Structure 1
């Protein structure tokens, strides 16, 4: 007689030293959250008023995310997938689904207002992504409850400009022919869309600042974003930059000179290269006029001169070194 799904989950969850992330999540679902894989509770859905309140609390973020959700849905909708975005508590705030597939996903509970936290549904794409703060794919029988084993869920976390987890982005499929390889392709697109939402919200959170961006090879989050004010102080950093520069892990950033973070070594950092390129472009457009270039960059003439000196840039872009 084949082993039941709930028996397999319970057995794998017995050891406190679970050897895989999946087993650790199953154990967390049973021990920490007190869930029984053989007794799934009724799906928890918010009342409409509470859902509206949650959306309003994240008003600007939701508005910025919507175009990316639309774009992601256009990419995956031919495969019969459902696109969801939750808040940090696992409540579905936004949804994109084909009309022909709507009833299927509504029956699964993958619908606006539903609680998909690990506390409510055990191991699942949304809840486990939020619990562990990392990209996850929960494929079919990797789910905690047997009622969810017909689903494949690809999820990525979205981090706010304060370094805290703000949302999860999810693409779910109920199709039996979705293979793990196909899920991997979708998961890559989900991760990319999550980073785009994250970057757009970061930029919107510092409207008066210059955003310096760079990529660091091998970094967990490839894009580092730093918000620099008119006085050349770093006033904001995304999670990747906070980790890379050893800044406050969460919360408001203590302002410090951007030059202290960017460094002055002979070998230019990724940030310095990006800043140097921005200054050179501004000078070239201004035909070497430093005052005009400073206005275009939103800084004072004296500040731009200091940056040019630090970056080894002459006033005439035609004589700039390419080194």
Structure 2
């Protein structure tokens, strides 16, 4: 993947590329929708007033997430396709965290008139590619002019006859387990913030999360008592489970292996790598609690226990480090 330069490359007609103003709303819609393949659950895709998506379960799981240029991503750090992957992953992971299978995405794109057409097309490619990893499709959305590039995605999912796995079901004695990577994206963000582009493992983890989507429905079938997508930080998100369930949760630091690239980056940047692991969230790992009698498959590694109480602790005690992301702090 080639590196993108600074914001100056994104002015009107940069590199001879047509702007969205040059081809107009309907021209852009035509270009974008032509890039979208429809999956098996899409009965009617873009082109009408609304799409039609199959709902075999007779219930639809739905969620929405918003990404704002300069706050949730930077175009000099991520390609348009990267941003598409990130925007889709943030929503698809929420569907998986309910124990459901994603079926469709709806995307609202608000953009400056001088944005290059190729950037919008790259975004569509990234969204479609990430959705395709779970058999879902981008089935429609909306576009508008805006001084700030903003992407709002709504995801739909199917429970397959299972009850949803919610945050309020954890009970003392349950095992806390994690599926997917944790800390990689947060480390990549720190690397980029400090002006570096390596280690690539960490930078690419920030640009394109690798989410364990199948682990969500798998956890539901295993009898998970609660589950959450770790989007804002492990300790912060586990706090939501603890509050909803009326329990305490204790996390073990020794349950996490710090990979060599992360350890090297932490040492070079003067950062405790466990800050990334415990407070970083954009890998979109899934955290779930299970009855102690459940034999967990390799996809789920135990990282702690549900306890009596109402706090999230680390190694049995209070944790005074950062706990995660808050949009308004």
TM-score relative to the length of structure 1: 0.27
Larger fraction in helix: 1
Larger fraction in strand: 2
TM-score relative to the length of structure 2: 0.27
**Structure with the greater relative contact order (CA < 8 A, sep ≥ 6): 1 or 2?**
2
CA radius of gyration, larger in:
1
